[in-house]
Structure 1
């Protein structure tokens, strides 16, 4: 008879409790601490990757997604619109040499909710492993997270410097 691992209360079967959140069981506490201690970026989603998921399911591969903290979003969006090459160079310098697929996007709009209206600006940074070529093996999961988190911290420091 198989033995089933008991999930943390309120968490899924492949999750554990970290602070007040349920996270994938394979995510290292140090990674989570580092990603939640950034000056400019807020972690909004992280997944260790679940290769047993159906083919073409986004959860098969690891990912880390951020948004620029609300207090900095307008400034970063304005910087993107006026000095795009400088901000693009910061992103490129942090990530271009790594086996990553990186998307930085700026969104703006207006939200109506419960009788009130507000404009919003949202800056997102999305990272996942780069598609594999036939001659390249994927890095081990721990190595991918280590390299990616190092690069994220580098970008966060450089963005903080730009914000002065």
Structure 2
């Protein structure tokens, strides 16, 4: 596989509690790119299911993933950039998000289950209960290099994580160079 195009979309991925929204928002601010939380693309039925402590099935996820992929397509076709926080736990989910594009990059936020469980225990006002963390780790298929992924450890400060991602993306002032 050749080199990927400069990205028009970054998908910050990982299990619930890994810091996807926080890192994606900070990265968007740093780069001047629009940020969207993938959770906002969930239908109400998915949110209610998760709030009730029920893991989503693949059938629940397909419409959500397709809605995110549609948004990526709209943004990229206008020559704009977007950063989306989205769990994207399985290869098949990431394939739906990509739709064969080579101008979308994944940022995998990696951390131990213990660290993330501790974070979830202290998080307020989020619909995802900490009890679903084990199912998220069981579902997680870590991305492979062929998926144009940047892996970032979550055991650093937000600023340090964003600095490392920007360095690896080779993005300066909101515009991409070769990646």
Structure with a larger share of its residues in helix: 2
Q: TM-score scaled by structure 2? A: 0.25
Structure with a larger share of its residues in strand: 1
Q: TM-score scaled by structure 1? A: 0.26
Q: Larger RCO: Structure 1 or Structure 2 (Cα < 8 Å, ≥ 6 residues apart)?
A: 2
Q: From the CA coordinates, give the structure whose radius of gyration is larger.
A: 1
